[in-house]
Structure 1
Amino acid sequence: MSTAQAAQNVAEHVTQAVVDHASEAPLLYPLILLAAAVIAVPLFRQLRLGSVVGYLAAGVVIGPHVTGLFDDPESVFSLAELGVVLLLFIIGLELKPSRLWTMRHDILGFGLIQVALCGGALASIGHMFGLNWHASIISGLGLALSSTAFAAPLMEERGELTSPYGQRAFSILLLQDLAVVPLLALVAIFAPGKDAAHPAGLATTLAMLAAVGIVVVAARYVMNPLFSLLSKTKSHEIMTAAALLLVLGAATVMELAGLSMALGAFLAGILLAESSFRHELEADIEPFRGLLLGLFFMTVGMTIDLEVVYRNWLWVTVGVFTVVAVKLTVIYAVARVTGSSHEDALKIGGVLAQGGEFAFVLFGAAVTAHVMKADNANILTAVVGVSLALTPIVFGLAARAAKKREAKMPEADFSDADGRVLVIGFGRFGQVVSQFLMARGIDVTAIDRDADQIRAARRFGFQVYYGDGARLDVLRAAGAGNAVLVAVCVDERKSSMQIVELLQQHFPLAKLYVRAYDRRHALDLLRRNVDFHIRELYGSAVTFGGACLEALGASREEVAAVEADMRRRDTERLALQLAEGELAGKNLMHVKPVMPEPLTQPKREGRALSLETEEATREDVPPEVAAGHL
């Protein structure tokens, strides 16, 4: 017996043992799911393939088609689907109705065009390969749908869900979720024979409208007073239960009316986006959302039949390549035509190039209604499953291509850069500084290395040049040699110090004003003898503290006196730290002494504090205090 056969026999024995004892140990299946996730997700994140692929791979391995450790994915699919429901609810909480209204053109325009063009192209290709027109249309429109459950977390993980491209991509996903209902009705219309066809009639339409009305009324007029009442109980568990009741209730009402559960949760989230309990709801739902969404991905992985993929590997490979290529091309083209930049269009195409989870539902309904053959549906399901698994890779490649294009943005022409002041870094800080200078008619040359920032500034009429201030050739081209003053406004400490060193070495005549990240950075700048520096949050914190004092009854004269004293103490402390070290000048800080509680026995015997013991206990000082950030 070969080693491979022996290993296979061992695996079969283990699998059979698990199946035999599953009924005796009801926690065995949850243990298998958790163990698979804990092993696979960190491994795939280390490989930079993302947690979604890790969940999928875990599902494939433990599913019925490989090891068989979990032989009934359908038993947990309804529970796993709640992950998508909770995800849509949280996304809805982030979208106020007014903001959603501003997205209406992308939803009804961009979204409809994408579904129609991708569906038409893929349906035509399906018909070319032998499908009848009914099956071709259903398969084309099903493959045109993308996965909210995959795309939204990918953009959210990168912090780009609220970016311009993220908003446009999400608009398409919303339209696709809405399109599921008419597509299922289309399956019923295409079904052969009158008995099989049940197109949505007046009663069904009224039921759908009634379901939407129930969710709107409950979320708008019932849940806020209920949350207010429950908050008085000071019971966190009850608030969490109420949050889950709201989400699951909205999803169930929508499902009973024939609509998408995710759509119901999303609608409830939008209606509560302006609620004072929004952040509490998001915090309560988040843990359940993460776990159940992972379970959903694992369940999808279990449905991928590797034997079907192997037997039809050529068709599956061609299908995956065709779907990804067609959708990426069409979405990119439509995005460009409707106003997106090259980089944003690439990202939108990359994140939506896969098939969607609703395709599984659509193809299953098509088989049941005899619109599509089971073998064809199995191949299409495998295509969707593999495309889902490839989503992080395709999106990563598209994002990298977009970033590479941005990085290759041509150097700006500095021929007309003759400002008396050179501003390096045109973010929030640099923009305000420039406003002060321009208000007095002073010529300013601004440079930044963030291409997106430059494009945004140019939309408002600012002339900002592309260039890295940490490069000597860029500083020379930007006119640092003729500048009276150079304002270093970048927000990265390391880059700031590199720029300062270059300027002091090669352009010593220019006055050097620098934005400091924190106290330690300020001390480094003092050691470099810059002409002026300010910690980026110090001024606003002083103003904020003064406003708090004034709100508590202090007069403006008292606030001004406190502010002057605070600035004096800070200046003296900086001087002491510069001369004696970062822990010097602690006596200049206002601190609240720690007093023991009355009638409380001390936990250890007191001891005198000397310089030696202070040094010995220095390790107990919090890093931010020891580093002098305060």
Structure 2
Amino acid sequence: MAAESHGIDLLPVIALLGAAVVAAPLFKRIGLGSVLGYLAAGIAIGPFGLRLLQEPSSILHVAELGVVMFLFIIGLEMRPSRLWGLRREIFGLGIVQVALCALLLTGVGVLTGFPVAPSFVAGAGFVLTSTAIVMQLLEERREMAAPKGQRIVSILLVEDMAIVPLLALVAFLAPIVPGSVAASGAIDWLSIAIGLVTIAGLVLAGRYLLNPLFGLIAGVEAREVMTAAALMVVLGSAYVMQLGGLSMAMGAFLAGVLLSESTFRHQLEADVEPFRGILLGLFFLAVGMSLDLGVIARNWAMILFYVAAYMVVKAIVIYLVARLFRASNWEAIERAVFMAQGGEFAFVLYAAALGTGIISSEENAILTAIIIVSMMVTPLLIAALRLVERNIPLSTDGVERPENLSGNVLIIGFGRVGQIVSQVLLTRGHVISIIDTDVEMINTAREFDFKVYYGDGKRLDILHAAGAERASAIVVCVDKADDATKIVELIKAEFPLIPVLARASDRRHALDLITAGADFHIRETFESSLVLGQKALEALGADLPEVAEIIEKVRQRDEKRLELELVGGLYAGRPLFSGKLEPVEAVPPGGSA
């Protein structure tokens, strides 16, 4: 009889994966975001829920690698030249925000009766925003590459780097705290020197060793070896920084920056991304499991008070600093809501303070609960912010309205089409005037030194202020078809001699623009579709003269159909083309071509 063998206990793994698979899509579907779903799922399966997992700390240590890999991928996107371009945000905006938040949050603790040292540790820990939560939210909203997203990333970098001097300050404060375990008040210059040497060594290794290493591995043409090498670089750099007494995440970020100019950058990102996603979700699950509901039950009033006090004070400081650095009112509000919570690096700071005796184990548990509750509240606040955003118009503070503009070309609408048209005209040396009603687009254009005025092209007074009667041509590039048609009708009624060129969204819109009097229109998908068809024919071996002849035939058939529809008003629901590309009598209503 074979000896009975005990297999691996798969229940915890299944519980983690099942909780993630159920909670994250559910919470994202109802508009609360995947982060809150992971946190709630962690509470449900943790020691204070179904008790499927009893030791969240062991999972948290592994899951922290998700944050490490996330910072590595962010580093890959942050080329040194790009970081230098963000120097104002990093060394100005970031440092001012961190310093003011630390000072005022320390004041909250002192004013409520706690000594200076524990108050500083508690407040400084709350300053360190959750990089994982904010980055995930920016990624979900596709705002990571936007200028306002880049400013948030810059502040997060400063906060992540701030963990190093904060840990040094904890060691410095420990001797002056009664009952602490520190024996001397001297600054540990040796630890500082080791940290600096570690950073220098990692920079040198990244600059001179990593590219040759990946070049050698790429020559082997073994995909799994490249993936293993990518993981080795991420984890190795994090481990080296940890040995030097610094943040693992900072090491991974630095490695990413050093590889950002590498020809292997995209391959590395593709290799690390799956591990990053899984481990980051696991990190949020572990944070949820770490929430000690017993501590909250015993100290719920204190925890709720400090969550509210810290988040309100921090949000106010962030808002004021953002306005000081000339952010728009709405961007300042968004940044304040996004970054009002504490973060995962606070756990490291509190553990160090516990080890030196600055705070007790009970205080550490309470502070940890405050951080976790604030992290859980953030997605709810952002969801509420989105509801408010949908119901109020964007502020036009700082947005200029047109007044006696003198460009020889007026562009109405500065979306994708308007931006490209403006580049063509500027390259030829024309002076252009641009109006749009999208406040966010106007503010973004201003950040790139592009002047766009706030104005509705459907209003005659705005057209006069924008210099429409003096323009040599007017280009209508607005997104909404009805708006574009009304603008063309108004312009041709008031300024009939000025050429009007318009973007059409589809075939029906093209007919409306022709009827409205547009001198020229172009359907946004028609020309690109012709080019795509042309390239397809070339790829299939057709001769260039034959391809040109076919494309011209298709274009002529399309023009004839437009003429037929204009004359006869034909909107029958038949196909645009027959199988042999022969003319047909009618086209579908509002065809997309």
Question: TM-score, normalization: structure 1?
Answer: 0.77
Taking a change above 3 Å as real, the CA distance of residues 483 and 314 of structure 1, as seen in their structure-2 partners, is same
Which residue matches 1:336? 323
Which residue matches 1:513? 501
Please give the alpha-carbon distance, in whole angstroms, between the structure 1 residues aligned to 2:108 and 2:358: 17
Provide the secondary structure at the position in 2 that maps to 1:266: helix
Question: 1:100-115 maps to which residues of 2 (within 5 A)?
Answer: 100-115=83-98
Which residue matches 1:58? 41
Are positions 1:183 and 2:166 aligned together?
yes
Question: 1:547-626 maps to which residues of 2 (within 5 A)?
Answer: 565=549, 568-575=552-559, 578=562, 582-584=575-577
Please give the alpha-carbon distance, in whole angstroms, between the structure 1 residues aligned to 2:392 and 2:592: 41
Please give the alpha-carbon distance, in whole angstroms, between the structure 1 residues aligned to 2:581 and 2:199: 62
Which residue matches 1:264? 251
Structure 1 gaps, min length 5: 1-22, 550-557, 590-626
- TM-fit CA distance, 1:397: 4.5
Please give the alpha-carbon distance, in whole angstroms, between the structure 2 residues aligned to 1:344 and 1:130: 35
Are positions 1:68 and 2:51 aligned together?
yes
The Cα offsets for residues 96-137 of structure 1, whole Å up to 9 and x where unpaired, read as: 111112223332332222222211212122122232222112
Please give the alpha-carbon distance, in whole angstroms, between the structure 2 residues aligned to 1:349 and 1:338: 14
Q: Quick one: which amino acid aligns to residue 552 of structure 2?
A: R
Which residue matches 2:16? 33
Contact 1:342 1:402 in 2 (8 A): no
Contact 2:47 2:53 in 1 (8 A): yes
Which residue matches 2:340? 353
Q: What percent identity do the matched residue pairs reach? A: 45
Which residue matches 1:500? 485
Which residue matches 2:568? none
Residue 62 of structure 2, aligned match among 75, 79, 83: 79
Residue 311 of structure 2, aligned match among 318, 324, 327: 324
Contact 2:534 2:551 in 1 (8 A): no
- TM-fit CA distance, 1:478: 6.6
Provide the secondary structure at the position in 2 that maps to 1:378: helix
Which residue matches 2:3? none
Provide the secondary structure at the position in 2 that maps to 1:149: helix
Provide the secondary structure at the position in 2 that maps to 1:48: coil
Question: 1:147-546 maps to which residues of 2 (within 5 A)?
Answer: 147-192=130-175, 201-397=188-384, 407-409=394-396, 416=404, 422-427=410-415, 429-431=417-419, 433=421, 446-455=434-443, 457=445, 464-469=452-457, 486-490=474-478, 492=479, 495-500=480-485, 503-504=488-489, 507=492, 510=496, 512-517=500-505, 530-536=518-524
Provide the secondary structure at the position in 2 that maps to 1:447: strand
Contact 1:324 1:354 in 2 (8 A): yes
Contact 1:472 1:502 in 2 (8 A): no
Provide the secondary structure at the position in 2 that maps to 1:515: strand
Q: Kindly report the root-mean-square deviation, in angstroms, between the aligned alpha carbons of the 2 structures.
A: 4.0
Please give the alpha-carbon distance, in whole angstroms, between the structure 2 residues aligned to 1:63 and 1:400: 32
The Cα offsets for residues 399-423 of structure 1, whole Å up to 9 and x where unpaired, read as: 6667777624389766647988653
Task: Answer with 520-529 or 113-122: which moved more.
Answer: 520-529
Task: Answer with 185-194 or 248-257: which moved more.
Answer: 185-194
Please give the alpha-carbon distance, in whole angstroms, between the structure 2 residues aligned to 1:219 and 1:522: 56
Provide the secondary structure at the position in 2 that maps to 1:274: coil
- TM-fit CA distance, 1:176: 1.5
Provide the secondary structure at the position in 2 that maps to 1:372: coil
Taking a change above 3 Å as real, the CA distance of residues 540 and 216 of structure 1, as seen in their structure-2 partners, is farther
Taking a change above 3 Å as real, the CA distance of residues 267 and 405 of structure 1, as seen in their structure-2 partners, is farther
Q: Quick one: which amino acid aligns to residue 169 of structure 2?
A: L
Question: TM-score, normalization: structure 2?
Answer: 0.82
Provide the secondary structure at the position in 2 that maps to 1:232: helix
Please give the alpha-carbon distance, in whole angstroms, between the structure 2 residues aligned to 1:204 and 1:230: 35
Provide the secondary structure at the position in 1 that maps to 2:326: coil
Provide the secondary structure at the position in 2 that maps to 1:259: coil
The Cα offsets for residues 345-370 of structure 1, whole Å up to 9 and x where unpaired, read as: 22222211101111112112222221
Taking a change above 3 Å as real, the CA distance of residues 383 and 472 of structure 1, as seen in their structure-2 partners, is farther
Which residue matches 2:567? none
Q: Quick one: which amino acid aligns to residue 261 of structure 1?
A: M
Task: Answer with 250-259 or 425-434: which moved more.
Answer: 425-434
- TM-fit CA distance, 1:207: 2.9
Please give the alpha-carbon distance, in whole angstroms, between the structure 2 residues aligned to 1:444 and 1:103: 30
Which residue matches 1:45? 28
Please give the alpha-carbon distance, in whole angstroms, between the structure 2 residues aligned to 1:221 and 1:448: 49
- TM-fit CA distance, 1:49: 0.8
Provide the secondary structure at the position in 1 that maps to 2:220: coil
Task: Answer with 184-193 or 383-392: which moved more.
Answer: 184-193
Which residue matches 2:540? none
Taking a change above 3 Å as real, the CA distance of residues 441 and 275 of structure 1, as seen in their structure-2 partners, is closer
Q: Quick one: which amino acid aligns to residue 502 of structure 2?
A: V
- TM-fit CA distance, 1:584: 2.0
The Cα offsets for residues 374-429 of structure 1, whole Å up to 9 and x where unpaired, read as: 22222211111110011123344456667777624389766647988653212453
Taking a change above 3 Å as real, the CA distance of residues 62 and 380 of structure 1, as seen in their structure-2 partners, is same
Please give the alpha-carbon distance, in whole angstroms, between the structure 1 residues aligned to 2:535 and 2:107: 66
- TM-fit CA distance, 1:531: 3.1
Taking a change above 3 Å as real, the CA distance of residues 399 and 354 of structure 1, as seen in their structure-2 partners, is same
Structure 2 gaps, min length 5: 1-5, 538-542, 565-571, 583-590
Please give the alpha-carbon distance, in whole angstroms, between the structure 2 residues aligned to 1:537 and 1:75: 54
Are positions 1:134 and 2:89 aligned together?
no
Task: Answer with 462-471 or 495-504: which moved more.
Answer: 462-471
Q: Quick one: which amino acid aligns to residue 277 of structure 2?
A: G
Task: Answer with 209-218 or 45-54: which moved more.
Answer: 209-218
Please give the alpha-carbon distance, in whole angstroms, between the structure 2 residues aligned to 1:84 and 1:295: 10
Q: Quick one: which amino acid aligns to residue 163 of structure 1?
A: A
Provide the secondary structure at the position in 2 that maps to 1:407: coil
Taking a change above 3 Å as real, the CA distance of residues 474 and 313 of structure 1, as seen in their structure-2 partners, is farther
Contact 1:480 1:507 in 2 (8 A): no
Taking a change above 3 Å as real, the CA distance of residues 171 and 442 of structure 1, as seen in their structure-2 partners, is closer
Taking a change above 3 Å as real, the CA distance of residues 441 and 354 of structure 1, as seen in their structure-2 partners, is closer
- TM-fit CA distance, 1:256: 1.4
Please give the alpha-carbon distance, in whole angstroms, between the structure 2 residues aligned to 1:452 and 1:330: 23
- TM-fit CA distance, 1:469: 4.3
Size of the aligned set, in residue pairs, is 560
Taking a change above 3 Å as real, the CA distance of residues 170 and 331 of structure 1, as seen in their structure-2 partners, is same
Please give the alpha-carbon distance, in whole angstroms, between the structure 2 residues aligned to 1:439 and 1:238: 48
Contact 2:457 2:487 in 1 (8 A): no
Please give the alpha-carbon distance, in whole angstroms, between the structure 1 residues aligned to 2:448 and 2:277: 40
Q: Quick one: which amino acid aligns to residue 140 of structure 1?
A: G
- TM-fit CA distance, 1:533: 2.0
Task: Answer with 126-135 or 577-586: which moved more.
Answer: 577-586
Contact 2:66 2:280 in 1 (8 A): yes
Contact 1:523 1:574 in 2 (8 A): no
